[in-house]
Structures are given as structure tokens and as C-alpha cells.
Amino acid sequence: MMKRARKLLASLLAAALCASCLSGIAPVAAATQPTSFATEFANPMYEDSMLKVRYWLPSGYPASSPELLEEIDREMAELAEAGYSTVELANVYEGLTESEYKALEEGDGEESYLFGSSYWTETLRQVLKSAKTYGMTVDITMGPHWPAASDEIDIESDAVMKEAVYAANELSAGDRYTQLTRDYVAITKSDASVNLLGVYAAKYESTKEFSKTSGYGDSAVTTKWLQYAVDDSTMVKLEADENGNYDFTAPEDNYVVIEVYEHSTGATIKYSTYNNPDTNYTGYCLDMYNEAGAQEFIRYFEEHVVDDEIEALLKEVGGNFFEDNFSYSAQNIWTSTLMDTFNENSGYDMLDVLPYTLGIPSNGHSSERNSTGIDLESSAPFVIANDTEYKYNRVRGDMIDSWAGCYLNQHIATIMDWAENRFGMGFRTQTYGGNIDTGLCAATVTIPEGESIGFSDGFDGFSMLAAGRDMGGNTPILSSEFAASFSQGGAYGYAWDDLMKAAYKNYSAGVNALVFHGYSYLYSPESVWPGNHAFGTACSGTWSSRDPQWTQIADLSGNLRRFQYTLQQGVQKTDVAVYESMGNAQGGGPFYDGSALTAEGYSYQLFTPELLTLDSAAVTNGVLNENGPAYKAMVIDNETAMSKETMSKLISYADAGLALVFANQLPCISTSLTEDNAEIAAMMQTLLEKDNVVAVESTSDIGRALLELGVAPAAQKAESDTAVLPIHRSMDGGEIYYFYNTSDQETTVTVTMQGDGAPYLLNTWTGEVIPLAEYTSDGKSVTTTVTLTGNDAVLFGIGAAFGSGEEVHATKSTVKLGYDNGTLTAKVDQNGPYSVTTSEGKVYTGNCTDLASPIEINDWDLSVESWTSGDPDDAKVTAKEIIYEGHTDAVPWSSIPEVGGNVSGIGRYTTTFEMTDTANTGATLSFTGVGETFQVYLNGKQLPAADQVTKQVDLDGYLKEGENELTVVVATSLQNAVNAPNSAAKVYGIVGTTLIQPYQKVQIKETANKAILQAVIDYAVAQKNAPSFSQVIGSVQASFTAALDQAQEINSSLSATQQQVDLAWQTLMTEIHKLGFIQGDKAALASLVTLGNSFHDNIDNYTPATAQPFTTALAAAQAVLEDQDALQGEVDAAHSALLDAMMNLRYKADKSILEAVLARADKIDLSVYTEASVAAFASAKAEAEAALNDQNAEQAGVDEAADNLQAAIDQLTCESVVPAPTVHGDASLTSAGSSPKTGDTAPLAAGFAVLALIGAACALTSKRKR
């Protein structure tokens, strides 16, 4: 058998040798073709993935000359080339001077240039034509400004913005109220009539003073009022007589009579008309809650803006009509349809509770938000004292629902229907402010939008909009009015690296489309260089070629476009819906502390109440809206008020398998006056009885509770971390994960992302889809470690949509890794040992000892090109002049005397450095600080786009042997050149140490030919697993196993040398040859030793002469039995020796008769016997005594001695004849002629018979083995 095995091994080795000679080291796999995603990701050109911008024009002024219209075309071309797909046309004039206002009003002398004029129409026409030329889309801002307005309606029209006002009249006991006082606490001053809604009287328990400031700057107005806590049981509605008089007398002190009115605010928008100088070209703000306001906008637009050509152009390049958020400044907003809507929705008369509906904030530029919870601290003028039934809260809940119904069903529905049917356009709007449900409105409109300035780029406001978008399912897009700021250095001070950080923050909340705020048309009637600033110099913008940073716009916009393209793929999947009863996103938050969720890796969205009314709000397979966000759980945190309908929904969700976690206070009251609070409490108890519903004491316990319910995040963190926020999107063929670091500090977190397939890093700066080099996978998920610079973000893709992955990746490493033409490669950037474990289970170990030292650059050759006005009569002309060429330390431009702090432009930094062995050495370039954007050139070649956040660039592939020339082109903002006299200089240029960190490129692959080793290992493993291996002697088993382990370790080591490989297989081969040393068959020997041990237990019964050889043979047999190396011959010899010794065992003789005869002999008096007979007696006795003392005496000899002595006794002869002596005391003794009892020989004979049988069997076995 062993010969056949050796022949098989030889054939395997021959095949392996042949293969190794022909092929050598296995070649690197050919690069795979990019997927369609990768092709599109490299340069996304889809309309929604590209950037959008608010295009600010000073009314119709651009149409005042052909040259100014041509400027529109130039600017549209500039935007298209920069990666923008859409302009949102807006009439903006805040930055104009009084004389410029006058010029717009005067126009051509016959017609103004204002909104609605023929000049505005021509301006719009040019924008649309240019958009068609450059493949762009145009969105239209609703109305002449925001909110929409019209001067062609009467102030009393239902289309005009309205408010509710009140008067409060305090009465003492006996005081009589008879006439309306109309002493309004707060009212917008206008000429509109004030219409009475109702008069009420009630006793009040206490008062409290409140105040509120509305508006900004010089236009800010502070209103003060008292809040009355009334006894609801005393509240009565007063009715006037036919003459309008009232008759109410206060029965006791502390009564208040409440007069409630409504009227048009008379709020106007400047330049909302082109043809009415009598009103200073202003129009009334339109009502945003009813259909009348929407229809007035439609009528005005149709009559004053649209003609046949514009209609056709809008149908071709029109995108969306856009409406800004609620800009009401009224204390108590009102609309003509509110009361009817309230009565229909709530089921009771609003007039019965009217005082309690006052003071719900409009949220127009207000941080106040709505709540119906029991802990609400309201600033409303009339609340209920000792309100144990929470009537006040529930009335306000019904009121808020009614406001939302008005806005959604009358305003949004009207605009959307008209836009779609008339022009094939959509409706993009900021669905917050006012008293509306942000989520439901976001679910309804074409594109929902948030904003940077109103939300402060916060998470919660965007998150609420994203929940609506995802539940509605109408669009994958959530846009942001982006980069509006008063704190980033004014119109020209917002640097693009800071823009990137702000964009990443927006994206982390679900935003995936940026609408830049904004792009100013270059000219105004008195514009000077660098051009018109739509909002003056205080507000950020304008993003255009006026700014030196625009010279690098392709890199900058490319990064954002790739983020947006990726974040628009598929459907956003969110782990947890956080129920948010205060369902309005105004102010952006924070509304909720989600750190307990993000710490575990959960993604979450704020879920507003009305989203539960959508058809998509159904639970299937244990998740909410399976084809949408697929929430795995809902969190209800500190929500004390819920409607019966909502509680019923939650019960049905729990029954369908959705996990519910309640925290802090539980729902205990209704949000509607018509519902019973006790029912809410009972339904809550029903929920708590379900296995998938838990209540925890605090918000911090929510993450743990979800894990205990078996709800796992799609991107689970290995360690608790609140800094990194996840976004997960699911698409055909793959999963997308986005991570954003909210911290200013570098953060590292290990995450496990759900997804089947190979993971990829999506490099948004370079457009590369890069296979991830280090991760682990169980086939259902991928685990990797993510390290993010402060405020940075990263994208990963998992699945076939991104590629099939590389054949080998690392699962563990102590160095940075990547791929070099498909080969896993380490980038060793420090001296010392390192190791890499691959997905094949192989390990590469190395020790870097000769890494080149880092190169520090602290001084440069610098050329500065300054951008200034090139023509005082033309805002367009920029002079670009080299003002400095020299050598400088790495300091801000303001610290270079020849440059100074009032210069903006382009800086070209140059230096040289030495590199060797560039075939095996790369380097990373990193900056301490750069102001502001930069591009890198090495040896005359431009490198791919540089990451403006990390400020690190990989130089590999561009290095050369010897001297290398490094050039860094820095583009600044225009801030210092424009605003330097009024503000501190921004830091421009390369500042601080620039580091070039070399790294050694080490390919993690086989360096030795292991074909023979693998073949030998395969054979050895098969031999070890064979049953016959157990028969090999122990020492060979041990040495064979050690050699195999060593060979496998060498085989798994990618860094093993050829010498180590050869030695390993040769050593293992030697051990294979020893496998012929087979252990003896010890079965028979084991049985014989067992029997021998039973004999040994009675060893004292045997003669020493036979016992001692037996004991020796037994011990020897036991040793052979325990010897793992014992061969068959040794086993057989031990068996034979033991068997012989056992066969030779003899019992000790029975000497009882002999002793009795000797005792008798000792009693004989020999003096009476003849000398001859005594001599014979003495001789026989001596022999008997010798036999008695002989331990080895056999039974026959003892018997013979006894017989002989007895005969001698019997033959003693007296000197005279006397009777023979009689022996007394043993009747069992026989006479000399009898057969004496010399021991029972039957047991011994039986034992020998058994031994004979065993011996025969063993002999046969031994013969067969031989």
C-alpha cells in the first residue's frame, strides 16, 4: 500500500514541477471592466446630480440693452461649463442703492424695469433661451419676491395674507362690559377693515407677561402681551343685541372680556409690480393657506409674464416653480377658509373655543414650534388654568391639523395641478414655517427643500423633510438652499473647503441636491467691479468667475456632483423612525437628541404624525414601508399626546411585527378635543403587553432596547460612537453607505455594513471606484474600519453594481493598503515590523528598516497674481497682474510685505525635492494649511483633484528619480481684495509645514514558487486524515504533524523565501517516508496483560521461582503496550514472553501432611530403636525438613519427603519388638499407602488450558501480522 502511495505522491510532484516550470509565479488578474455605475460616477451629467443655483437678477434691468442680455447668455454658459444644470430665476434687489432703485422704477421713461414689465418678460425669455442652448433647466420663483405678492387685488380680498387679533378687557366685580373696545393687543398696521369673529368672557386665575421680537435689524418690532390663565368653566360667548351692544357684568374680581377679530395684514412686497408708482411699486402678500392666494399668483403670472414663446420654452426647459418657506410676520395667522376647515376636521365649532386658538406662532423666522404635549409651556394669550383634561392642548392640536389641511389641500394642490397641467413643471418648496406638517407636505410636493441659513445646516430639519420624501416616494431628491450665510466673510468670503464641509453635513441628513445661494447677475444700474451683489456684501455669494476659486471649479463641482449622483441612487433605507409630534421643521432644530441611536450605528429620521395617513405607511415583513425607507423600528420619545387614530396605527404596526420603543413619558392624552383621554391610556397599555414593544426610562436607553429587540442597524458600529452619522441607500445590484464625521477631530470607527458582494471606496474627488483593500465579509455583510478627518465624509458601495472585487484582499493589517494594477499592495510609511493577513488566510510579514525620511517644506518660490478692477466703467473687467515673485516662508500673504492683506488672486508655489527608487517608493503630500483651494502639479503634470478637506494628495505615479519639481496653485476667494478695508484679512496661501511622507510599495503576493510545497502539503493532509494514520508509531505521528504545521505556516506566509519553502517541503517529505513505521497490533497483548494482572493479584500463591519471571514478563508487556512506537515484532515478543511465564507459574506446595509427619517424628524416642533403623529415620527426616524449608519445592517432592519420612518411621526397629507408634490429632491423614492431599491442581490446569487457547490465537495473529 505504501509503495502505491509513494507513486501517487511522485506523480503529483511531477505535475506540480511541470506547472511551476511553465508558469512561474501566478500572473496578476486582468483588470475588470468598469460597471455602468463606475462610468457614470466618473463624470455625472444627470440634471439632478449636477449643481443648481439661484440666479439673482435685478428685475428686468438686463433687458434694457442687447449687451446686457448677452451677459445672461455668457453667465448661463459659464454655469453649464462649471457643472450646473439648473438656475432658479429670482427677482432680487436687496443690494441696490436708492438711486439704483429709482433707475429700475423709471425704466425707459415709459415703463419700469420691474417684475411683470415687458423688460422682465424679455429677461426671462433670454434665460430660457440660453438654458435651451446649454442643455439646462430653469426653475421659476413664485411671484416677484417672497412671499408672492400682487398689487392687482384689494386689501380686503381673500387672496391677501390675514391675521387674527384680539383685545383683552379686565373687569373687577360689578364692572359692566357693553361696547367693543377694539384695543388690539397686537395688530399689523394697515388700512384693512377689522372684522369681529367673537366676544368671550371668563374669570382668570393668574397672568404672565410675554414679549416677542419679529423681523431683523432696523425693522425689528417687539410686541408685549399678557397671558391669562382662565377658568374654563366660566368661559361664555357673549352675543350683541341688534344695536351691537353687549351686557355683561363681572360677578367677581379678575374677569376678562376677549374680543377676537380678523383682518388683512396689509403686508407688502417692494417691487412686486411694474406699473403702480402710487403704491411705491408694492403689492400685497398673498395668502399661502387658501386657494384664493394661489389663484391670484397664477392669474398674475399668466397675464403679465407668459406669452406663447415663453410658454413653449417653459414646457421645454422649465423645471419647477419654487416657493420659499413661510415668511409671515403676523402674531396670529389667519385665513378665510380656516374656520370651515376646522369645523369639518374636528367635528365641533371653532367659535366655541376661539380664544384658545390664538397665539399659535406662525414660525415665520421664529424658533418657536408647536406641541400638544402635556409639558407645553405656551406663550399664547389665553390658556386654561388647572387643565386636568388638557382641553387647551387638544384644541390647539385640532387647530394645527386644520392649518396643515388648508396649506396642503388648498395651496399646494392648486399650484401643483396648474404647474403640471399648464407647463409640465413641478413644484419645489420649503415645506416648513407656518402651522403645517412638514413631513406630509414634503411627501406631496415634487421636490421638498430645506435651507442652510434657516436650519443652520442642522440635521433635524432636513431629517424631517427626508422622512416625508421617502414616505411619499414621489422623488428621490431632497434639495437644500445651500451656502446662505452671514458669517462666512460676506459676498466673497465663503471658501470652498468650508463649503464642502457644510455640504457633507447636509448630505448626512438626507439632502442630495444643492441649490447654491447663489449667483448674481453681473450688472446693476450702478454696478462697479467686481459686480452686482444681490444681497449686498454681507451675505454669502456670488459663486462665479469673479472669484479666483472658480478657476478650479471643475474639481470642486465634480466632487459634489459625484456625491449627489451616488446619494440619488435607489432608495434611502433608514433604521429607525423617531416620531416627532412637533411636526414642523422651521429653525432646523435641534429637536431631538439622537445620540443614543447614532452611538450604535442606527440611522434615523424624524417622522411627523401626518405621515401615518399615507397609503405607504403600512408594515410588511416587520418593517414600515418596505419598498421605501423600510424602518425597522419606531421610537416614541417623551410624546404625551397622540390621537386615537395614531394609537390604533401603532397597535396594528406592533401586531405586524414592527418594533416599538417608548421612552420617558408615555402617551396619556389625545390630540383632539373630541376623543377620550382614557382611551389613549388604555391603548398604551395594550401596546406594552406586546413582546415587540418596550418602554424605557430615558432616551439614553433606546439604543440598548433596540438591540435587545433584535433590531440591528444596517451599519453597526463595533464601538460606541456618536460622531459618525450613516446614510444607507439600496439600489439594484448594490448597497450604498455614506458616513459623515460631525466632529472637528479625526474619528475612527469600525462598521459592519449589510450587503452581499465586494465593497468599494467611491472617491468623489477623482471619480474612481476603488476596490476596498481591507475588510472582512461573511457573505451577508462587510466589516471595515473607517477613519475620517474632522467634518469629512466618505462613500462605500457594496455589490455587483460597483464591480466583482479583486481576487485577494486583506482581512487584517498594520499598514495602509491599496491595489497596484490589481495586486494588493502595502504602503509602508514608517520603519518597523508590519504584517498583512489576506482573505486566503495567508500572512505577509515584513520589517521596514530603510524608509526615506519625511521631507519638510517650510519655504517656497512664490508668484502672486492679484485680481483687481481693470476698468472703473465696466464691472466685468478684472485686471490680473503678477505683483510678487520671490522666495518666501510658508506664511499668510498678509505677512508678506510685498503682497499684503488686501490682495486676492492666484498664488503659484514651487519647490524641488529628491526621491530615489521611485519604482518601489511613493509619497503622500499633506498641508498644514492652505487658503483657500489648491491644485497640485508634479514635474509639469497636473495631479487628479485634491481633497480640499483632508488636504492630502498621493504623489505615486508622478514621482521620478532624482529631483522632482512640485508646484501648488492656490486660488483665493475675492474677500481680501473687496472687503479688506472693512474686515480682518482672510488667511491666504500655504501656511505652515508641508510634508512629503515617503512610503515603500510592497506587493502582498507570493515571492517564492510554492507549487511543490502545496502538492506535498495536499498529500500529507490526505495521509493524516486517513484511518491508517492512527496506526503509525507515536513519535512519527508527532514529528509528521509538526512538519506539516510548519509547512502550512510557510505556505500561508506570503513573505516566505524560496529557501524556507524548499526546506519546508523537503522536511515534510522526509516525514511522509516515515509513515511506514506502523504500530504493532496490541489487542491480543492487551487481553493477555489483563489476564496476567489477575494472576498477579494472587502472586503470593506461586512459587518465587515461577512468580519472579512472570512479574518481569508482565511489566515488560505493560511497557510495550504503552509504547506508541512499539513495532509488531516487539509486541509479539512481549506477548510470547508473558505467555510463557504465565504457563510456567506453579502454585506453592501443600506441606500440611509433611508438617504433621515431622511433628510426629519429633515426638519419637529413638533410644529404643536399632541403630540402623534410626539412621534411616534421621536421613528421611533431614530430607523432609529440607523440603519443608524449600520455598520452591514442588508438590511431588514434598509428598515424596512426607512418604519417605513416614516409611522411615514405620520401619524403626526396636531393640526388642514393640508396637508401632500411633500418631494422634489428625484423622484426615492417610496411611502411607494412601494418595496424600498435596494441593488442588484442578484450578491450575484450567488456567493453563485458557492460556493455551490464548497462546494459539496470538500465534495465529502474529503470523498474520508478519
CATH number at residue 933: 2.60.120.260
User: Does 941 share its domain with 985?
Assistant: yes
Question: Which of 146-155, 326-335, 583-592, 635-644 has the lowest average pLDDT?
Answer: 326-335
Provide the pLDDT for residue 691: 97
Cell numbers given for 865 = 497674481
Contact criterion met (CB below 8 Å) for 118 and 111: yes
Q: Are strands 576-579 and 571-573 parallel, antiparallel or unpaired?
A: unpaired
| Beta carbons within 8 Å of 874's beta carbon, 6+ residues apart | 529
- Rounded to an integer, what distance in angstroms lies between the CA atom of residue 71 and that of residue 62? 8
Do 984 and 861 share a structural domain?
yes
Q: Decide which of 330 and 538 is more confident.
A: 538
Q: Which of 172-181, 969-978, 1111-1120 has the lowest mean pLDDT?
A: 1111-1120
Q: Does residue 1230 sit in the same domain as residue 1184?
A: yes
Give residue 1171's pLDDT.
87
pLDDT grade for 1069, boundaries at 50, 70 and 90: confident
Element (H, E) at 1176: helix 1171-1189
Provide mean pLDDT across the span 731-742.
Answer: 98
CB atoms within 10 A of CB 878: 20
Determine the average pLDDT of the residues in 117-132: 97
pLDDT value of position 1155: 84
Residue 458 pLDDT > 50: yes
DSSP string, 1096-1143: HTTGGGB-HHHHHHHHHHHHHHHHHHH-TT--HHHHHHHHHHHHHHHH
* Alpha carbon distance 272, 296 (integer Å): 13
Task: Tell me if 344 is assigned to some domain.
Answer: no
Q: Find the Cα–Cα–Cα–Cα dihedral 505, 510, 513, 516, rounded to 10°.
A: -40
Residue 1014 has pLDDT above 80, yes or no: yes
Cβ neighbour number for residue 1165 with a 10 Å cutoff: 7
CA pseudo-torsion sign 36, 37, 43, 47: positive
Q: Are 772 and 760 in contact (CB under 8 A)?
A: yes
Residue 495 lies in a domain: no
pLDDT averaged over the chain? 89
Q: What CATH number does the domain containing 1091 carry?
A: 1.20.1270
Three cell numbers written together for 79: 454655469
489-516: string of b/e by CB count within 10 Å (b at 16+)?
bbbbbbbbbbbbbbbbbbbbbbbbbbbb
The pLDDT confidence band at residue 28, using thresholds 50, 70 and 90, is: very low
Looking at the fold, whether 1197 and 1172 belong to one and the same domain comes out as yes
d(CA 493, CA 1041): 72
pLDDT tier, 3 (very low <50, low <70, confident <90, very high otherwise): very low
Say what the pLDDT of residue 1113 is: 87
- For the ranges 180-194, 488-502, 716-730, the maximum mean pLDDT occurs at 716-730
In a domain, 1166, yes or no: yes
Distance CA 738, CA 3 (A): 62
* Confidence (pLDDT) at 982: 62
On the question of pLDDT at 845 being above 60, the answer is yes
Cβ atoms of 583 and 438 closer than 8 Å: yes
Sheet holding 149-150, edge to edge: 149-150, 282-285, 268-270
Contacts of 152 (CB under 8 A, 6+ apart): 273, 283, 296, 300
Q: What is the DSSP letter of 1075?
A: G
Between 591 and 925, name the one with better pLDDT. Answer: 925
Amino acid at 1055: S
Q: Do 1139 and 1039 belong together in one domain? A: no
Sequence-ordered list of residues with C-beta below 8 angstroms from that of 1049, at least 6 positions apart, any chain: none
Q: What is the pLDDT of residue 221?
A: 74
Is 21 among the domain residues?
A: yes
Grid-cell match 447654491, residue found: 516
Query: Which of 1030, 1056, 1076 finishes a domain?
Result: 1076
Tell whether 880 and 984 lie within a shared domain: yes
Whole-number pLDDT of residue 30: 34
Q: Give yes or no for a contact between 531 and 542, defined as CB atoms under 8 angstroms apart.
A: yes
Indicate the residue among 1054, 1076, 1098 that finishes a domain.
1076
Average pLDDT on 925-945 reads: 97
Per the model's pLDDT, the better-predicted residue between 178 and 1179 turns out to be 178
Task: Find where cell 434611502 sits.
Answer: 572
Decide if pLDDT at 866 tops 70.
yes
Q: Are residues 992 and 915 in the same domain?
A: yes
Within this chain, do residues 892 and 936 fall inside the same structural domain, yes or no? yes
- Residue 1232, domain extent: 1160-1236
Distance, in Å, from the CA atom of 481 to the CA atom of 708, rounded to the nearest integer, reads 40
- Where b means 16+ CB within 10 Å and e means fewer, 1111-1132 reads bebbebbbebbebeebebebbb
pLDDT of residue 610: 95
DSSP state of 289: S
Q: How far apart are CA 287 and CA 279, in angstroms?
A: 19
Average pLDDT over residues 434-448: 94
pLDDT digits (tens, 9 = 90+) for 564-588: 999 999 999 999 999 999 888 888 8
Instruction: Report how far apart, in Å, the C-alpha atoms of 554 and of each of 136, 228, 794 are.
Output: 17, 61, 20
Q: Interhelix angle for 2-23 vs 1011-1025, to 10°?
A: 150
pLDDT average, residue stretch 357-365? 61
270 CB-near residues (< 8 Å, 6+ apart): 93, 145, 280, 281, 282
979 and 902 part of one domain? yes
Above 50 in pLDDT, residue 366? no
Under DSSP, the state recorded for 883 is E
Q: List, in sequence order, every residue forming a beta bridge with 199; answer none if it has no partner.
A: 238, 259
Residues 1177 and 1102 in one domain: no
The string of DSSP codes covering 411-476 is IIHHHHHHHHHHHS-EEEE---SSS--HHHHHHHSSEEEEEHHHHTT-HHHHHHHHHHHHHH-S-S
Measure the CA–CA gap between 258 and 248, rounded to whole angstroms: 12
The helix/strand/coil state of 1190 is coil
Domains held by the chain: number: 4
pLDDT of 213 = 75
List pLDDT tens digits, range 706-734: 999 999 999 999 999 999 999 999 999 99
Per-residue pLDDT of 244-284, as tens digits, reads 999 999 999 999 999 999 999 988 888 767 777 777 888 89
- Residue scoring higher pLDDT (330 or 681): 681
| Secondary element (H or E) of residue 171 | strand 162-171
Indicate whether 427 belongs to any domain. Answer: no
Phi and psi (nearest 5°) for 687?
A: -65, -45
Indicate whether 1205 and 1164 sit together in one domain: yes
Please check whether residue 118 lies inside any domain of the structure.
no
Distance of CA 1013 to the CA centre of its chain: 43
- Is residue 27 over pLDDT 60? no
Examine the domain organization and report whether 883 and 978 are in the same domain: yes
> Given this model, what pLDDT does residue 1245 score?
42
- Is 677 within a domain? no
Residues 1214-1261 pLDDT 10s: 886 545 444 443 433 433 333 333 334 434 444 444 444 444 444 433
| pLDDT for residue 1230 | 39
What pTM does this model have? Answer: 0.84
CB 494 within 8 A of CB 485: yes
pLDDT of 16 reads: 43
More confident position, 187 or 857 = 857
Q: For residue 527, what are the CA distances in angstroms to 607, 810, 872?
A: 47, 60, 10
- What is the average pLDDT across 838-862? 96
Mean pLDDT value across residues 694-705: 97
Report how far residue 941's alpha carbon sits from residue 722's, in angstroms, rounded to the nearest whole number. 41
